[in-house]
Amino acid sequence: MDLSLSDEQQLIVDTVRRYVQDEIVPLEADLDPDAGELHPDDQARLIEKTREMGFYGLDIPKEFGGPGIDVTTRALMAIEMSQHRAGLYNPCYGTFGGAGLAQLYEATEDQKERYLFPTLRGEKKGCFALTEPSGGSDPARAIQTRGQRDGDEWILNGSKLYISGADKADFALVFARTSDDPGRNGVTAFIVDTDTPGFHVRRVVHTLRSTHYATELQFEEMRIPAANMLGEENRGFAIANDRLSRQRIPYAAGCLGAAIKAQEMAIDWAKNREAFGGLLAEKQAIQWMIVDNEIDIRHARYCILEAAQKADRGERFRTEAAMAKLVASEGSGRVVDRAIQIHGGVGVTKDLPLERWYRELRIRRIGEGPSEVQRLIMAREILGGSFK
Amino acid sequence: MTKPVVELTETTIDALPAQLGVYEIVDLTGATIKIGYAGGRETFGMRTALHRELSDDIAGGLRFRHEFTHGYLTRWQELLMLYEADHGALPPGNADHLGTLGRLSPLSVDPAPTGSNSWI
């Protein structure tokens, strides 16, 4: 595997790195340590800048007007984009634009006109409503929200939990059980306008991620036009699997970016802080922590780039993407933990971004499928013989 | 918020720990004037934020209540959304709110399922 960057990739990495250092980090000095948004004027100015750079909407597929960046370059960019305080969950405060819900790229032309294209133009926002109070890691079996056909409509009843952005979304992608099949073959996906009668955002759910809340939803006799069914009836889980695996790669890369920055901070601190008559960097206990950090960082980088390069070559990459997600989220958590230990007291204060990354990286081991599910994906492929 | 309101004075503010959290400023009639938070940049947390409110209280007589929480930003947004759901608009002191607020349709005034801050 070739870990070296092409000239073009190096140029892109350098450009994004400068953008983060020159444009994003200085603004954070004046924001609350937990801030998740820029001032609207700064946001607008920086979006203009990323448009000029040709990077706006970088996750939009080329056939839909995106810049057509390959997965490897996208991963390299994600590593850079997350190297600031809010970078894990809001890399560069969204100034590179979004791509909307991956499942919408598999929608009908009518659905794309009504939901995907307005999302790409920034006119609409969507949210993803899958997890329920009955469970999230095995949603195919946990889903209890029911959908019943009634002529040209579907009637949905049930609830969803830990849903991000539902209170601000124009539409939600809702998964509901539509047959007696207790597993994945009984679930259908629907696009639901959030102003539909019966759609309720019942409460805010506070988490470790104190910048951003999740919500709990309730659906009461919610009537959805049959034209808003996404994909085939009872085949809601088959939609966009490839795109979802692809998303795990920049997700992993975001974790790695925070770890790289934490390691830089730890090294800098160790080389300047004195204790017991010498620099921290001279103590073996500290040296070993720095080395263990480097091992975790390089391991994650290798897994991420391997998954990305396989995806770019058009090969199967499901196992590699799962491994990258697992290795990067768990390893980066360890790196930030050690960086805090090296810093001592100041490491847990809000003066530094380490405490925020520490909290947010704990969530990354659960989001986008917990580590155990990633192992399950890999085990199926390895033991099933499809991995060679 | 469930705590009783107290007078906004130097004495009541200085009696508070310098922690982070959210607060509500009310007038003599009990109407909410502003919902604010003491964030990570405040020198002495809640004390600094409330001293600022006190210095803005030209007419005097304001009261406040508070909650200490590290999730001050999300709790602050939640309180604003609950207020808007009840009153159809934000408190006058939050009228210049810049961010986009979400929409809640809570089952009750305080929907926290287990009284998440009731132990404070």
The reply to whether A139 touches chain B by the CB within 8 Å rule is no
Q: Is residue B105 part of a domain?
A: no
| The predicted structure's pLDDT at residue A237 | 81
Q: A153 to chain B, minimum CA–CA distance in Å?
A: 24
Residue B118's pLDDT band (cuts 50, 70, 90): very low
| The predicted structure's pLDDT at residue A66 | 87
Q: Is residue B67 part of a domain?
A: yes
Which amino acid is it at A112? K
List, in order, residues 6 or more apart from B120 with CB less than 8 Å away.
B3, B67, B68, B69
Interface test with A, best of B35, B69, B73 (most A CBs within 10 A): B73
Annotated catalytic, A294? Answer: no
Which residues on chain A are in Cβ contact (under 8 Å) with B19?
none
The reply to whether A179 touches chain B by the CB within 8 Å rule is no
Query: Residue B86 belongs to a domain with what CATH number?
Result: 3.40.1440.10
Which residues on chain A are in Cβ contact (under 8 Å) with B74?
204, 206, 210-213
Q: Is residue B15 part of a domain?
A: yes
Q: Is residue B39 part of a domain?
A: yes
| The predicted structure's pLDDT at residue A67 | 87
Residue of chain B whose Cα is closest to the Cα of A36:
B73
pLDDT tens digits for range A104-130: 988 999 999 999 999 998 899 999 999
Q: B74 to chain A, minimum CA–CA distance in Å?
A: 6
CA distances from A280 to A14, A175, A276, A287 (A): 31, 53, 9, 8
**Residues lower than pLDDT 70 in chain A:** 240-243, 385-388
Residue among A33, A200, A206 whose CB faces B75 most closely: A206
The reply to whether A167 touches chain B by the CB within 8 Å rule is yes
The reply to whether A203 touches chain B by the CB within 8 Å rule is yes
Residue B114 has pLDDT above 60, yes or no: no
Q: Specify whether the CB–CB gap between A134 and A163 falls below 8 A.
A: no
d(CA B11, CA A58): 54
Q: A32 to chain B, minimum CA–CA distance in Å?
A: 6
Q: Helices in chain A by DSSP H: which ranges? A: 7-19, 25-28, 40-53, 71-81, 109-111, 117-120, 139-142, 241-272, 284-312, 318-343, 354-364, 371-384
Q: Is residue B27 part of a domain?
A: yes
Q: Is residue B69 part of a domain?
A: yes
Query: What is the separation of C-alpha A134 from the centre of its chain, rounded to a whole number of angstroms?
Result: 23
Residue of chain A whose Cα is closest to the Cα of B75:
A206
The number of domains in chain B is 1
User: Would you call B41 and A33 a contact, using CB atoms and an 8 Å cutoff?
Assistant: yes
| The predicted structure's pLDDT at residue A88 | 97
ipTM confidence score: 0.88
Range(s) of the domain holding residue B78: 6-97
The reply to whether B105 touches chain A by the CB within 8 Å rule is yes
Q: Which secondary-structure segment (H or E) carries B34?
A: strand B32-38
| The predicted structure's pLDDT at residue A242 | 66
Which residues on chain B are in Cβ contact (under 8 Å) with A206?
71, 74-75, 78, 116
Q: Is residue B119 part of a domain?
A: no
Residue among B41, B77, B111 whose CB faces A213 most closely: B77
The reply to whether A213 touches chain B by the CB within 8 Å rule is yes
* Greater pLDDT, A388 or B6: B6
Residue of chain B whose Cα is closest to the Cα of A202:
B106
User: Residues of B numbered 47-86 whose beta carbons fall under 8 angstroms of chain A's beta carbons: which are they?
Assistant: 70-75, 77-78, 81
Q: Which of A28, A233, A368, A381 is catalytic?
A: A368
d(CA A97, CA A48): 11
Interface test with B, best of A28, A31, A32 (most B CBs within 10 A): A32
pLDDT tens digits for range B47-97: 999 999 999 877 778 999 999 999 999 999 999 999 999 999 999 999 988
Q: B38 to chain A, minimum CA–CA distance in Å?
A: 10
The reply to whether A367 touches chain B by the CB within 8 Å rule is no
The reply to whether A122 touches chain B by the CB within 8 Å rule is no
Q: For chain A, give percent helix, strand, coil, nearest 5.
A: 55, 15, 30
